[in-house]
């Protein structure tokens, strides 16, 4: 006997080898012990639903999708950067503000100063906003501490947020995000510190599921990034990379050479970089919120990614500087409008491909027997509505690990 079965609607399984959206019209999905036990056409059930499950739920013509996955965020931070927003409107560039000690470093100061519970309280509304639009799994990076104590504080807050809100959290250590003031002009020394101290501390505390770095002219060089990746490998942690966001720095190929789970941003990535990603199965994570907020005009190489069959994920990049975004549905719209993804590609970007970007492809991202029963029920007539509408939330209900959230 299954615990629950949902019937009476259509299912976008997001399994890629069948109908668009992996759709099953008139479908049923059954859950037992928090996992998907069965999915298929209702007509294919072995008997009347009430004989198969303890509880039968009729979704009244709605659509069921996998729970959404935001696979790239910097959600936990202190303060905000509304003043910097004003400065950029007055003509200052993002890179110029960063060079002058504003930007990321102003958030570092605010995050260091915040007591852990205050950081939690400041970050919770951002998580709640994403969860209210169906996000059931989220990646959260450190990188606004840069010293051992604050990096670990951020990662602890990320884990606590997941526990408090019933959202699956994957944490990423991003020590190599910016050069902290105490290491000014000494980037190589800071990378020594990351490799010898902060990264090992995060790994030893069990607080990091992966390691990321910001490889860019205003951040760290490919050589410095490679050292961080080698340290991650020594601690058995997979890597990801902020790659080619502001210039072609060879980031995509570097990420691929280290078998990265994902390379993220990619606006300036060349076809050679895309080919390298295809060879190692590195996922492309596109971040339309940062593209929009920075008024970037260089498009990520979507046609090359398609041609080389690189999985394309879409994420919020939720952060106080370049992407103050807490709406995953807006990212679906922007991925289509700005990057010309199809609505189906965009939805795959926050489900199937996003799971791959987090190393969760076996357990999350599609509606298939054996996977975790994270599901969204939407009041829509067709899945493209999720990307089409702007500023509207048709989420009816969320099921997390088999349990309907209120
Ligand atoms: N790239 C980004 O888009 C964010 N970090 C990064 O490495 C921006 C972070 C910030 O501006 O605070
Ligand atoms: Fe980012």
Q: Per-residue pLDDT tens for 164-190?
A: 999 999 999 999 999 999 999 999 999
Mean pLDDT rounded to a whole number for the chain: 97
Query: pLDDT grade, residue 321 (50/70/90)?
Result: very high
Q: Which fold has domain 68-357?
A: TIM Barrel (3.20.20)
Neighbours of ion ligand 2 (CB under 5 A): 317
Closest residue by CA, ligand 1 atom 3: 322
> Does the beta carbon of 22 sit less than 6 angstroms from any atom of ligand 1?
no
Q: Which of 80, 172, 319, 331 to mutate to test the pocket of ligand 1 (most atoms within 8 A of CB)?
A: 319
Q: Are the C-beta atoms of residues 72 and 264 closer than 8 Å to each other? A: yes
Query: pLDDT grade, residue 406 (50/70/90)?
Result: low
Does 98 score more than 90 pLDDT?
no
CB-side exposure of 316: number of CA atoms within 13 Å? 28
pLDDT at 301: 98
Mean pLDDT of all residues in 72-90: 95
The ligand placed nearest to the CA atom of residue 144 is 1
Closest residue by CA, ligand 1 atom 11: 321
> Does the beta carbon of 290 sit less than 6 angstroms from any atom of ligand 1?
yes
Closest residue by CA, ligand 1 atom 7: 214
pLDDT at 336: 98
Does 99 score more than 90 pLDDT?
no
> Does the beta carbon of 321 sit less than 6 angstroms from any atom of ligand 1?
yes
Q: Give the distance between the most distant pair of CA atoms in the chain.
A: 70
Residues 286 and 300: their CA atoms lie apart, in Å, by 8
> Does the beta carbon of 180 sit less than 6 angstroms from any atom of ligand 1?
no
Both structure tokens of 352 = 């199937």
68-357 and 2-66+366-404 share a CATH fold: no
Domain ranges within the chain, ordered by starting residue:
2-66+366-404, 68-357
Distance 73 CA to ligand 2 centre (A): 6
Q: Are the C-beta atoms of residues 260 and 244 closer than 8 Å to each other? A: no
pLDDT at 405: 80
pLDDT at 137: 98
> Does the beta carbon of 319 sit less than 6 angstroms from any atom of ligand 1?
yes
Closest residue by CA, ligand 1 atom 2: 322
Best CATH choice for the domain 2-66+366-404 from the list 3.40.50.720, 3.55.40.20, 2.30.40.10, 3.40.30.10: 2.30.40.10
Closest residue by CA, ligand 1 atom 4: 322
Distance 321 CA to ligand 1 centre (A): 6
Q: Which atom of ligand 1 is nearest to the CA of 103?
A: 11
> Does the beta carbon of 320 sit less than 6 angstroms from any atom of ligand 1?
yes
Query: pLDDT grade, residue 100 (50/70/90)?
Result: confident
pLDDT at 106: 94
pLDDT at 18: 87
Q: Which helix or strand (DSSP H or E) is residue 25 part of?
A: strand 23-32
> Does the beta carbon of 31 sit less than 6 angstroms from any atom of ligand 1?
no
Q: Please write the tens of the pLDDT for every residue from 136-152.
A: 999 999 999 999 999 99
Mean pLDDT of all residues in 236-259: 96
Does 101 score more than 80 pLDDT?
no
Distance 316 CA to ligand 2 centre (A): 9
Residues 165 and 319: their CA atoms lie apart, in Å, by 20
pLDDT at 340: 98
Q: Please write the tens of the pLDDT for every residue from 22-79.
A: 999 999 999 999 999 999 999 999 999 999 999 999 999 999 999 999 999 999 999 9
Please name which of 313, 317, 402 lies closest in space to residue 365, comparing C-alpha atoms: 313
Distance 317 CA to ligand 2 centre (A): 5
> Does the beta carbon of 317 sit less than 6 angstroms from any atom of ligand 1?
yes
pLDDT at 161: 98
Q: Which atom of ligand 1 is nearest to the CA of 177?
A: 7
Q: Please write the tens of the pLDDT for every residue from 179-238.
A: 999 999 999 999 999 999 999 999 999 999 999 999 998 899 999 999 999 999 999 999
Distance 167 CA to ligand 2 centre (A): 20
List all residues 6 or more positions away from 389 whose beta carbon is below 8 Å from its beta carbon.
Answer: 329, 333
Mean pLDDT of all residues in 251-279: 98
Please name which of 349, 318, 376, 379 lies closest in space to residue 124, comparing C-alpha atoms: 318
Both structure tokens of 309 = 């069959």
Distance 54 CA to ligand 1 centre (A): 47
Residues 406 and 401: their CA atoms lie apart, in Å, by 14
| Helix axes 116-131 and 148-165, enclosed angle (nearest 10) | 40
Mean pLDDT of all residues in 310-319: 98
Please name which of 389, 375, 321 lies closest in space to residue 107, comparing C-alpha atoms: 321
Q: Please write the tens of the pLDDT for every residue from 329-338.
A: 999 999 999 9
The ligand placed nearest to the CA atom of residue 102 is 1
Q: Which of 214, 240, 246, 293 to mutate to test the pocket of ligand 1 (most atoms within 8 A of CB)?
A: 214
Residues 260 and 238: their CA atoms lie apart, in Å, by 6
């Amino acid at each position: 006997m299954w615990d629950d079965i949902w019937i009476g609607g259509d299912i976008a399984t997001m399994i890629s080898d069948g109908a668009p959206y992996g759709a099953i019209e008139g479908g049923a999905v059954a859950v037992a012990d928090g996992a998907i036990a069965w999915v298929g056409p209702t007509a294919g059930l072995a008997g009347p639903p009430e004989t198969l499950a303890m509880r039968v739920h009729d979704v009244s013509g709605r659509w069921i999708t996998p729970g959404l996955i935001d696979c790239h965020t910097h959600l936990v931070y202190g303060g905000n950067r509304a003043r910097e927003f004003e400065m950029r409107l007055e003509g200052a560039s993002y890179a110029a503000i960063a060079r002058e000690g504003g930007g990321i470093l102003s958030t570092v100061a605010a995050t260091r100063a915040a007591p852990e519970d205050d950081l939690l309280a400041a970050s919770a509304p951002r998580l709640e906003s994403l969860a209210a639009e169906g996000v059931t799994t989220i990646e959260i990076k450190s990188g606004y501490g840069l010293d051992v104590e604050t990096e670990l504080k951020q990662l602890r807050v990320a884990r606590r947020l997941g526990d408090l809100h019933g959202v699956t959290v994957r944490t990423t250590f991003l020590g190599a995000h910016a050069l902290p003031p105490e290491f000014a002009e000494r980037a190589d020394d800071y990378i020594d510190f990351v490799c010898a101290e902060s990264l090992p501390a995060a790994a030893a505390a069990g607080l990091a599921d992966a390691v990321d770095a910001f490889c860019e002219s205003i951040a760290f060089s490919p050589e410095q990034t490679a050292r961080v990746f080698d340290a991650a490998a020594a601690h058995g942690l997979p890597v990801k990379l902020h790659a080619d966001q502001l210039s072609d720095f060879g980031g995509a190929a570097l990420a691929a050479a280290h078998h990265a789970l994902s390379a993220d941003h990619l606006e300036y990535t060349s076809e050679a970089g895309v080919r390298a990603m295809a060879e190692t199965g590195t996922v492309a994570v596109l971040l339309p919120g940062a593209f929009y907020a920075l008024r970037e005009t260089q498009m990520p190489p979507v046609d090359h990614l398609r041609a080389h069959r690189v999985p394309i994920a879409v994420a919020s990049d939720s952060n106080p500087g370049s992407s103050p975004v807490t709406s995953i549905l807006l990212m679906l719209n922007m991925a289509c409008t700005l990057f010309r993804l199809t609505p189906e590609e965009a939805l795959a970007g926050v489900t199937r491909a996003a799971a791959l970007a987090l190393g969760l492809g076996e357990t999350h991202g599609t509606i298939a027997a054996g996977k975790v029963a994270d599901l969204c029920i939407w009041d829509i007539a067709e899945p493209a509505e999720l990307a089409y509408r702007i500023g509207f939330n048709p989420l009816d209900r969320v099921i997390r690990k088999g349990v309907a959230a209120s």
